[in-house]
């Protein structure tokens, strides 16, 4: 593990350091959930910045690795785009958590509306940039890398981009719950709704194809055809959870509700 971390650091020290900072912030935010009772939508206010910091840190470390395969890519421009855009998101979400107020869907004042719009723009810029990187993985050749691994990166990026933009399903509704109100019964920690449709599940599954598919390809399914099939199945899982959410149906039902239905 130490050797892997050192290798990742040498591939892209700037994005590597940003990823570590995000992970450190995620740990701090997680610890803060134990020392505050401030809640947003019936969940500890610090869970949201924890999840965003961890996810952004994972994205930064992942892209630091992938971009090292693109020798002619302008890595400095990409690095600072990611740091400025996603760093802004983490800071704003943390500030709002500290105040016990919403960051997303908050249009209660002109300033909050503008900041919410800026978050959407920041996420979109990074997503489009990631899509461009995906394009480069299709048009460039990688003679020293296994084809199944490259296909996993390509398909992982495609699914990531699609389900990153799926966030606009929630943004357009100013809610992450379909069929009910935000903040009702949910599973622990992740706080996905157990009563209504929750598009965040598809968002989560789709965006982490960026890590899941290449790992599966490199360590388990070392065959291009197998990787393509697994990628299709993974994408179908994300689509299924999205359709389920759009119908207002929870993926995980509350235990008491399930018990009443089975009596």
Which among 31, 28, 77 has a CA at the least distance from the CA of 57?
28
Q: Does pLDDT of 259 surpass 80?
A: no
Q: Give the pLDDT band (50/70/90) at residue 260.
A: very low
Mean pLDDT of 41-57: 93
Helix (H) or strand (E) holding 44: strand 43-44
Given a contact cutoff of 8 angstroms between Cβ atoms, the answer to whether 211 and 156 are in contact is yes
What is the pTM (predicted TM-score) of this model? 0.91
**In the beta sheet, which residues pair with residue 40?**
43
Predicted pLDDT at 6: 80
Residue 255 has pLDDT above 80, yes or no: no
Question: How many other CB atoms are found less than 10 A from the CB of residue 214?
Answer: 24
pLDDT at 256 over 60: no
CA distance 227 to 235: 12
Instruction: Check residue 151 and give its pLDDT.
Output: 97
Distance (Å, rounded) from C-alpha 192 to C-alpha 257?
15
- Parallel, antiparallel or unpaired: strands 39-40 and 43-44: antiparallel
Rounded to whole angstroms, how far apart are CA atoms 65 and 54? 17
pLDDT band at 130 (very low <50, low <70, confident <90, very high): very high
Averaged pLDDT of the chain: 91
Give the residue-averaged pLDDT of 173-197. 87
């Amino acid at each position: 593990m130490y050797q892997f971390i050192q290798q990742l650091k040498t591939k892209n020290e700037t994005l590597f350091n940003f990823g570590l900072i995000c992970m450190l912030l995620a740990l701090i935010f997680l610890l803060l959930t134990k020392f505050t009772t401030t809640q947003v939508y019936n969940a500890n206010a610090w869970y949201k910045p924890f999840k965003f910091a961890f996810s952004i840190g994972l994205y930064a470390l992942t892209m630091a690795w992938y971009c090292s395969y693109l020798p002619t890519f302008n890595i400095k421009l990409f690095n600072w785009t990611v740091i400025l855009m996603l760093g802004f998101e983490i800071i704003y979400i943390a500030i709002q958590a500290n105040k016990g107020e919403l960051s997303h869907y908050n249009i209660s004042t002109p300033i909050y509306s503008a900041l919410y719009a800026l978050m959407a723009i920041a996420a979109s810029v990074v997503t489009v940039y990631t899509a461009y990187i995906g394009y480069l993985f299709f048009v460039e050749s990688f003679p020293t890398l296994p084809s199944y691994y490259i296909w996993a990166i390509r398909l992982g990026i495609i699914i990531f981009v699609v389900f990153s933009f799926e966030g606009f399903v929630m943004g357009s509704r100013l809610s992450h719950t379909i069929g009910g109100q935000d903040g009702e019964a949910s599973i622990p920690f992740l706080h996905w709704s157990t009563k209504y449709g929750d598009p965040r599940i598809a968002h989560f599954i789709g965006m982490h194809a960026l890590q899941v598919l290449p790992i599966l390809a490199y360590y388990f399914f070392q065959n291009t055809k197998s990787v393509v099939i697994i990628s299709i199945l993974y994408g179908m899982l994300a689509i299924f959870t999205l359709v389920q959410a759009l119908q207002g149906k929870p993926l995980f039902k509350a235990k008491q509700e399930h018990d009443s239905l089975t009596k």
